[in-house]
Amino acid sequence: MVSSLDPVAERVGLAPTNPQLLTALTHSSYAAEHEVESNERLEFLGDAVVDLAIADLIVTRFPELNEGSGSLVRSRVVNEAALAEAAKRLGLGDALRVGRGVIRENGAARPSLLADAFEAVVAAIYLERGYEAAKNFVHASLGDDVEQASKMPGDADPKTLLRQWAEASGRGTPRYEVISRGPSHDATFQATVRLGEAVVATGEGRSKKSAESRAALTAWRDHLDA
């Protein structure tokens, strides 16, 4: 009998019974209900591997990009929305193990869960097959996104836009403070962005990254309207 894990396992190059893969597809809500390990530690590792692999791709395949434009391209690819789309293409949502509360709210489709699962899967590949395999997987999954972003490197994400404006205007580097509300499987995050000691904007999201991005976008738009 073919399980929902089999197609994903084939796409990522790991056995369906591989324990690292199973952990990578285990959300904290499921882990708490079944007393197993969640994918949070793998997501932490995968975040670094994805970042390195994309930087590697930019430097080796796009020599026309300098440090600044390369950083902008990377920020447009290594973010929650882009990683969630990559996870959807791989069908990770169908194989993701989540708790009952998340199932009731169709939470497995949340971009934050999908993005974290993608990074965790990358970490599983890295641990089982090494960096080259993980790098090749990231390049295959996100290479088209990098190519598209390289054509318009100036289209930066809100946090980058805000940082560039703030530093250029002598206001320093924006600082973000994030708090969460609600249970871990259904948390809402609120981010506050400060310039110096002044609070300039707040934003909410289903993940820390999205909350920070929305706070930065609000601050950036306020700057344009000022």
Q: For residue range 20-54, what is the model confidence (pLDDT) as tens digits?
A: 999 999 999 999 999 999 999 999 999 999 999 99
For residue range 127-175, list pLDDT tens digits in order. Answer: 999 999 999 999 999 999 999 888 766 656 788 888 888 887 888 999 9
Residues 90 and 124 in one domain: yes
- Number of structural domains, the chain? 2
Residue corresponding to tokens 């404006």: 165
Of 92, 127, 151, which closes a domain? 151
Q: Is the pLDDT reported for residue 226 higher than 70?
A: no
Total residues found in the chain within this entry = 226
Contact of 35 with 49, CB cutoff 8 Å: no
Of residues 130 and 220, more confidence is placed in 130
Residues 117 and 32 in one domain: yes
CATH number for position 205: 3.30.160.20
Residues 43 and 145 in one domain: yes
Q: Is the pLDDT reported for residue 121 higher than 70?
A: yes
For residue range 72-110, list pLDDT tens digits in order. Answer: 788 778 888 889 999 999 999 999 999 988 887 776 778
Give the C-alpha separation, 218 to 223, whole Å.
9
Active site residue 47: yes
Give the C-alpha separation, 70 to 83, whole Å.
18
Residue numbers of the domain that contains 199: 158-225
Contact of 95 with 127, CB cutoff 8 Å: no
Confidence of residue 224 (pLDDT cuts 50, 70, 90): low
Residues 119 and 11 in one domain: yes
Residues 138 and 179 in one domain: no
Give the C-alpha separation, 178 to 180, whole Å.
7
10-24 mean pLDDT: 95
Angle, CA of 82, 83 and 84, to the nearest 5°: 90
Of 121, 136, 151, which closes a domain? 151
Residues 167 and 95 in one domain: no
For residue range 54-71, list pLDDT tens digits in order. Answer: 999 999 999 888 777 787
Q: 165 in helix, strand or coil? A: helix
Catalytic residue among 43, 119, 145, 157: 119
CATH number for position 126: 1.10.1520.10
Residues 136 and 221 in one domain: no
Residues 131 and 163 in one domain: no
Residues 145 and 162 in one domain: no
Residues 9 and 111 in one domain: yes
Of 97, 123, 151, which closes a domain? 151
The pLDDT of residue 156 is 61
The pLDDT of residue 105 is 75
Give the C-alpha separation, 91 to 15, whole Å.
16
Residues 104 and 205 in one domain: no
Residues 66 and 19 in one domain: yes
